[in-house]
Amino acid sequence: MTFRLLLSLSICAGGLTACNEASDDKSRSVDRGQFVYAKECAACHGAVGEGAGSASLGLGVAAPDLTGLRQRNDGQFPREFVRRFVMGVLEKDDPDAAMPDFARVGLRHVYPEGGADGEVLETDFEALLDYLEAIQR
């Protein structure tokens, strides 16, 4: 009986540790995503993602509010759509739109010296998506 109790407690403790580690990993990813956002997106989309950042004022169209993506998509954050749009996989309504194709231009503000060959690092991009998901209202 005592062995079973100890075994059960050990399994539960291991599970809780794994949950905490996953939570810590997610928190670090969101923090990294916030850094990437501040460097690459905030100038157009605003400091907290609500649109109309200073660089977008002369574009003739306001950059969209990124905090309402979940709200505009039936309560679901459209992660795959955002990934494909930002990476230039989806055809844009306006091919001359100011939104960069990050698959082509890379994260030039995060890596101003061209680190990682100027390419978007998958972990940085996943972190950006985690951050965008975290700022949804």
What contacts 86, CB < 8 A, 6 or more positions away? 99, 102, 125, 128
62 vs 127, more confident: 127
The three-point CA angle 79-112-104 to 5° equals 45
Query: How far lies 51's CA from each of 55, 116, 130, 135, in Å?
Result: 10, 29, 18, 13
| pLDDT of 21 | 62
pTM: 0.79
Q: Can you read off the two tokens belonging to residue 132?
A: 């965008």
Query: How far lies 42's CA from each of 17, 36, 37, 67, 89, in Å?
Result: 35, 9, 6, 12, 22
Report for 48-52, 68-72, 115-119: range of highest mean pLDDT? 68-72
| pLDDT of 3 | 59
Q: What is the pLDDT of residues 33-50, one digit of tens each?
A: 999 999 999 999 999 999
What CATH number does the domain located at 26-134 have? 1.10.760
